[in-house]
Structure 1
Amino acid sequence: MDLRQLTPADLPACYHLFGASVHGLAGACYTAEQCRAWVPLERWTDEREQSWARRLGGSWACKAVAGDGRLAGFAWLSFDGQFDMLFVAPWAGRQGVAGRMLAELESKAAAHGVTALHAWASHAARPVFERAGYQLLRANRIDRQGVALDNWLLAKGGWREPEQEETT
C-alpha cells in the first residue's frame, strides 16, 4: 500500500469508502440501525462535497492506495490535533493500513508543532489508536438521527479535554 496526499478530487471515493467501512467493518461492533444512523446510504451531493472539502481544508490528510489503484483507506487530522477521519476499506482491514495512516499524519502534525492529539474513536478504531499510544480518557455517547452511538475519547501527547463551564 502506498500512502499519498489526499485531495478534494478524492472526496467522492472517500465518502463511498466511509460508508463501506462503517457498514462492513464497524458493523461488527454496532447494530445495522446504528450504522444507518452513522452513515445513511445516501448519494454524494454538492452540499456534502462542500462540507467535506471545508473540513479537509483545515487538516493534514492522506490516502492509502493498493497496488491495483484501489482506494484502501483515508484519514485526516485537523490542524487543532483532532483525528476527524480514519477509515479503511473492508477488503483492506487488519493489514496495518489505519496504523500507517495514523503515523503519517502524526508525523505531519509534529512537523508543524502539533503533538497534543485526540480522537473520538469507534469500537472498531479504538484498538488502532491504543496501539499507537493513545490513552483512553472516557466513554462517550452521541445521538445520530435519534439513535444512540457509543464511542471513545482517546488522547496522546498531553491533550486534555477542555473543562466544561458550569451554568447556574
Structure 2
Amino acid sequence: MLKAVAVITSSEGISGKIFFTQEGDGPTTVTGSVSGLKPGLHGFHVHTFGDTTNGCLSTGIVNWQGLHFNPASKDHGGPEDENRHAGDLGNVNVGDDGTANFTIVDKHIPLSGPHSIAGRSVVFHEGRDDLGKGGHELSKITGNAGDRIACGIIGLQE
C-alpha cells in the first residue's frame, strides 16, 4: 500500500490534512479534514506543481497552462466525467462550522508511475467548481472556482 499526505495551510487561517492511500493499481482514496473555510462548496483540485514558494499561486502557471494536473490534455470536468483533468476532484462541502470532512475515491490520481500525484499539490478554491458545465469562459479550464485560498504539497509517506 502506498500512502501520502498534504498539510493544508493558508495566510487566511485555513488548515488541515489530506491523506491519500492506494492499494496496488487500484483507485486512490483521499480522506481529508480542513477547517477555516467559509460554509458551502469549494473547488478541490490536484495542481501540476508541488511548489508553494509564492503561496498557492505557484502551484500552476498563471496563464492557465499547467494549472490542474492534466497529463491527458483534456478539458476541465467533474470527477465522474470521462473528459476531465486527472486533478479535477470536484467540490468539498464545508459545514456551518467552517469544517469539511470528506472521502473521495478516484482512479485518475495514482501515487506511483508516470502520472503520479506525489510531489504535486492540492488546492482549495474560494468558490464552487462548476465542473466544466457553467458556460463561463473559465468553465472548461478551471471550473470557474475562483481564487486559490489554501494548498499543500503531496508527500509520500513510509
Query: RCO greater where, 1 or 2, for CA within 8 Å and sep 6 or more?
Result: 2
* Structure (1 or 2) with the greater strand fraction: 2
* Structure (1 or 2) with the greater helix fraction: 1
